[in-house]
Structure 1
């Protein structure tokens, strides 16, 4: 294949990958961005200059957004994905133009066009954002941290659901005798159709226990931002506590809408920031004061910690087993698990893991996106699990079925 044609095909492939990645970011932000809308955006870009930020912005806004509710999310996603604010309509002077064909090929090495020798900036920026999603947050530069914060603002952690005693009309399920009889009476007393109902799902409580000790300092900001996203998504069914040498409830501070204000208020309320760690004692305080009274009962408990324990591990193992008996599921998030060759050899982790349903990493944005899937269905058997001797998603011995 001629060099010019090969270069044009590569540029087209870069733009297609960029649009597909942007659509995935939009879906994380809550915008549907269905495949037919993505195809419409690619067709629109085939008639526009892909180096013009304004053209890319309006092509996506007019094709990917389904209504007024999507506009703010689209603006935030565009700024985060392309690492900039909402663009102006004018194209910067002196920039070479690269046009897509009306139907951009997905396979490299096909298609026709002219090669200007330069990869579109939006593809470069999108590739950098994709790489950033998998970077360890403890190793980022200040500029990368700022970009990652915008991406964190797009996270919408899914809430686990549970059946309630309330029921709602449904096309399937148990027969609703009262509604069936009322309908028959309105029709002359003859039952012509059976009406059904089924239990109505309600959000299950999620409790996050975030370790803010000195060993977790590089990850505390990211963990609290994830906690704020969870509270923002389900403010009525999400609780946040910080753990270290003391237990601090920061749910009220996390309910502030602005993320930076919420983190600043939480930091002011935490007296043991970057201190030591007494996980066993703090968990006992949580269970005695909050968990046993109902906060942990039937909830999904997320413990975010590296497992370093200054006290005795026997107390930690005892309190974790107690927590497991109360909770619907226990998830442990350890940022060090994302490192190659990591093994949970610390005394705290060895004591805690027998009572943990899912052991996941929390070192990058991609890891937090995986965590949202764990929270959506914490009993799913295919998710990451590290409890020795207990099947994936299995019930812990001694678990009270009434709390499931």
Structure 2
């Protein structure tokens, strides 16, 4: 394997700093203190041995069990190689080359304890950061595989909501029945006011993904985003595809492996790369699922370019109906972040008055932004 950087590939500080930044972007707690520990660990191992570098970074840069799969994915993408297996009896033979790194001396190590300057950080920018700004429709298969691996690390999750029920030991109000029972035990004297607070439950997330022909360059990555959301909160997340009909894909997306989940979802969708009838599909969702509770108080995300072959007026009516039910309505248009975009298609014009957010969805960075918007909602 070789480092994915052209500048200063022999400098372990630059390489490992870029790797730590990529880990932090993926949600691993690879802070400067952990980075310093990783650089110190590299001085005690053979830096040409892929397995040694892997384990030196893993034991120093990861802080909890949830970090381990993210570390494996970023390590594989960063160093262009497979994740080494669990340690066992070492095989004889020369170690595989992972980095053209040079050992760090004690004097040099003290000089590099501080975080490198901005110029070094820019030099150490990972391919993941570069790919994050590129339109997924123009990626090669290898680049798309990297983006897919990073999408799997996302954790789109909505917050909680207050219910009308109350629970004890709060400060929001007096629990009269419990207070009275306490008075009876003390001969009628009020010794303590029992308090209550609202119960909190997770808010529901609903994803409606356009899989029509015009959305084919983006349907796969958006479905992977939905898989990440379902994986994080399977009990409170629903996913549907919309095209010429409505298809519920929540069950197949609950499969843990992204490839198996997308294969199962694709097999369940009969109108993949077909036409677009957003109004009819949205009406079917509201009649069968939304009105019965799926959309009530939920954060609803619709991913579509807005090309409506059906009745745009029907789409506007159903969007107004959805807006009355949902907590927030977010529309993801892959063309939103492109130069010259304007929501002038019939579908977008009909939906726009009923939206809380209109966001892009054409790059990995845009999907990170979408996850943040969902969390804020």
* Bucket of the pairwise TM-score, normalised by the shorter protein: 0.7 to 0.9
Q: Specify whether residues 208 and 7 from structure 1 end up closer, same or farther in structure 2 by C-alpha distance, changes over 3 A only.
A: closer
Determine whether 1:62 maps to 2:41: no
Cα RMSD, aligned residues only: 3.5
The one-character-per-residue Cα deviations of 1:156-189 (angstroms, maximum 9, x if unpaired) are 11223111345556676546677789999999x9
Q: Distance in 2 between matches of 1:287 and 1:149?
A: 31
1:92 equivalent in alignment to 2:96: yes
Relative distance call for 1:206 and 1:48 in structure 2 (3 A) is same
Pairs aligned (count): 357
- Write out the 4+ residue segments of structure 1 that deviate beyond 6 Å after TM superposition: 6-11, 177-187, 189-195
Write out aligned runs for 1:248-327 (5 A). Answer: 248-327=247-326
Q: Which residue in 1 is equivalent to 2:71?
A: 74
C-alpha contact (below 8 Å) 2:47/2:98 kept by paired residues: no
Query: Matched residues in 1 for 2:78 and 2:177: separation?
Result: 53
Does the CA-based 8 Å contact 1:19-1:42 persist in structure 2? Answer: no
Deviations 1:252-272 (A, max 9, x none): 111122211111111111111
| SS of residue in 1 equivalent to 2:84 | coil
Q: Secondary structure at the match of 2:343?
A: coil
| Partners of 1:64 and 1:92 in 2: CA distance | 22
Equivalent position of 2:16 in the other structure: 15
Q: Say which SS state the counterpart of residue 336 (structure 1) adopts.
A: coil
Q: Indicate if the aligned counterparts of 1:205 and 1:299 stay in contact, CA closer than 8 A.
A: yes
**Cα gap change, 1:291 to 1:196, in 2 (>3 Å):** same
Does structure 2 retain, via aligned residues, the 8 Å contact 1:13–1:106? no
Q: Which residue of 2 aligns with 1:106?
A: 115
* Match 2:38 to one of 36, 41, 44: 41
Deviations 1:345-403 (A, max 9, x none): 2121111111010101111111111111111122xxxxxxxxxxxxxxxxxxxxxxxxx
The superposition leaves residues 304-354 of structure 1 with CA deviations (integer Å, 9 ceiling, x where unpaired) of: 000001122211111111111111110000111121231212121111111
Classify the secondary structure of the residue corresponding to 1:368: helix
Contact 1:13 1:105 in 2 (8 A): no
CA contact 1:77–1:154 (8 Å) conserved in 2: no
CA contact (8 A) 2:331 2:358 kept: yes
* Offset at residue 274 of structure 1 (A): 0.7
Please report how far the alpha carbon of residue 190 of structure 1 lies from its aligned counterpart in structure 2 after TM superposition: 10
Check if 1:132 corresponds to 2:131.
yes
Note closer, same or farther for the CA distance 1:230–1:327 as it changes in structure 2 (3 Å cut).
same
Which position in structure 1 is the counterpart of 2:223?
A: 224
User: What TM-score results when the alignment is normalised by the length of structure 1?
Assistant: 0.76
